[in-house]
Amino acid sequence: MYYEIKWVLDHVEVYDREGRFCFSADSAGEAERELEALIA
């Protein structure tokens, strides 16, 4: 699946292919770990 990670002020937000908000995280690394857990 395709996800986009965007920096917003002091955190990141993750959006799916359709542009829908999925979740936020403190860092890109944390977001990537969350995505791995979500996909697995």
* Residue linked to tokens 């920096």: 7
Rounded to two decimals, the pTM is 0.86
Tokens encoding 21: 């908000």
| Tens digits of residue pLDDT in 1-40 | 799 999 999 999 999 999 999 999 999 999 999 999 988 8
Give yes or no for a contact between 5 and 36, defined as CB atoms under 8 angstroms apart: no
